[in-house]
Structure 1
Amino acid sequence: MLMLSENSKTLTSFIKAPVPIYMQIYLFNVTNPDAIRFHGAKPILKEVGPYTYREVREKFDLVWGHDDGSVSYQQNFTFFFDEEMSNGLKETDYITTINAVMVVASQVFGNETNPILRTVWSQLEKEMDLFESHVVRELLFEGYPLPEFDFDFSEVLPQLNFTEGWSGTIYEILEAMGVPDIPEFLQDNKMCLMYGVSYWLKCVRVP
């Protein structure tokens, strides 16, 4: 059993792996979005991949727990796209995928009879689509912008000034409504597959 300590020979390898690490991602491209939208067709999906990334993991801010023999640290993950190992695929390839935000919203608001919630759904339908088409690097890492909203309830509640706090980004609206624990990535008003995954900066405890 190898012992890890501040002076051990294995510390350098523990901080930064000496062997290459690769992450391969496969995406599903929706090839018939218009047929689904206008004719109710079944989705036809094409698997595309692998999009291969060389992953560099480096630990920092190590804190040694001498009493219990543990070490805690933060870890940074950096990804480098490898086109050769991606069989010629590029990060600039366009992928059409389902808009998960719209799907969830349709379940919450789509069948509502409440006039306020129906107004919310009507605005969502104007600003967002069931499908999103973006280049791979936006879908995975960079993120693509989410729309801003301006909900107008004057027609359903003409006697009330009910529009305050219901205009702006999703984060701003949720914040104005007093919703707790709003995901931090929404502050950028962007969405991507890797947001919300605790890849970027994590604190790990090793017994």
Structure 2
Amino acid sequence: LGCGLGCCIEQNLMQSHWTSDRTGTNSCLVLENQTTAYENWIKVGGTVYMQIWLFDVKNPVEVILYGLSPTVAQKGPYTYKVRYLPKENITANPNNTISFSVPKEAIFVPEMSIGNEEDKITTLNLVVAVTPALVPNSVLSFLNGIIKKQNSTLFQQRTVKEIVWGYSDPVLKALTNLSLIKDDMTGVMYPVSKTYGISL
């Protein structure tokens, strides 16, 4: 059930392969500023497609009221062309590591998709399902009060775009307004850009 209510992601990578003798490999793989390897590392070529399937819950009321097993229908794939833009904020650290951020851009590809980003999906409300397990017992009644006040339930209907790329959740918004958390957004791929560090 947990996997069924989440989403399955398949990435098709178009990779280029190259070979080199040992001497060439040693000189090409040095990650040093103003080298070809460094420039290629900053901006990765190739096309990446990401396909996402979501599962639409058909009987949310029966699941909540009577404890029945969910009946789901698979929707998708929803296909995105993912562009990895040049790395940003590249910083050489004193401990021989490099920190950098990887901005990403995803473009919806309707001709490779079944459906569109505005399709409505009834799915598990992860904030309602998971948040109570992450807080101490002493604040559970307080949290449940916020969930009820926001009329949030175990299941919710959202667009594909919201589920994948993020939306402002009413429970998280209430917690943000109380300065208990900093961000009211949630989504499978939210946030899109990540910061990484690698060893030299």
- Residue in structure 1 matching 2:100, options 67, 70, 73: 73
Aligned positions of 1:46-85 closer than 5 A:
46-57=73-84, 58-64=86-92, 68=96, 71-85=98-112
Deviations 1:85-144 (A, max 9, x none): 22x3211111111112222356689xx8x9x85465355234211111010111111414
Q: Which residue matches 2:194? A: 201
- Structure 1: gaps of 5 or more residues: 149-167, 176-181
Aligned positions of 1:142-161 closer than 5 A:
142-147=166-171
Q: Which residue matches 2:155? A: 131
Two-structure CA RMSD over aligned residues (Å): 3.2
Deviations 1:19-46 (A, max 9, x none): 1012222212111112223333211122
SS at match of 1:128: coil
Distance, in Å, in 1 between the alignment partners of 2:58 and 2:80 is: 25
Distance, in Å, in 1 between the alignment partners of 2:106 and 2:59 is: 31
Distance, in Å, in 1 between the alignment partners of 2:196 and 2:91 is: 11
> What's the % identity of the aligned pairs?
25
2:157 corresponds to 1:141: no
Q: Which residue matches 2:125? A: 99
Distance, in Å, in 2 between the alignment partners of 1:61 and 1:106 is: 36
Q: Which residue matches 2:17? A: none
Q: Which residue matches 2:60? A: 33
- Residue in structure 1 matching 2:177, options 172, 180, 189: 172
Distance, in Å, in 1 between the alignment partners of 2:106 and 2:46 is: 15
Q: Which residue matches 1:44? A: 71
Deviations 1:54-87 (A, max 9, x none): 111121233357995x54422211111111222x
**Contact (CA 8 Å) 1:72, 1:206: kept in 2 or not?**
no
- Residue in structure 1 matching 2:186, options 185, 188, 191: 191
Q: TM-score, normalised by structure 1?
A: 0.67
**Contact (CA 8 Å) 1:94, 1:134: kept in 2 or not?**
yes
Report which of the two has the higher share of helix: 2
Q: TM-score, normalised by structure 2?
A: 0.68
Specify the structure having the higher radius of gyration (Cα).
Answer: 1
**Contact (CA 8 Å) 1:26, 1:48: kept in 2 or not?**
yes
CA pair 16-119 structure 1, distance change in 2 beyond 3 A? closer
Q: Which residue matches 1:17? A: 44
Distance, in Å, in 2 between the alignment partners of 1:28 and 1:193 is: 13
How many residues are aligned here? 170
Letter in 2 for 1:52: T
Distance, in Å, in 2 between the alignment partners of 1:67 and 1:30 is: 49
CA pair 92-117 structure 1, distance change in 2 beyond 3 A? closer
Distance, in Å, in 1 between the alignment partners of 2:179 and 2:72 is: 34
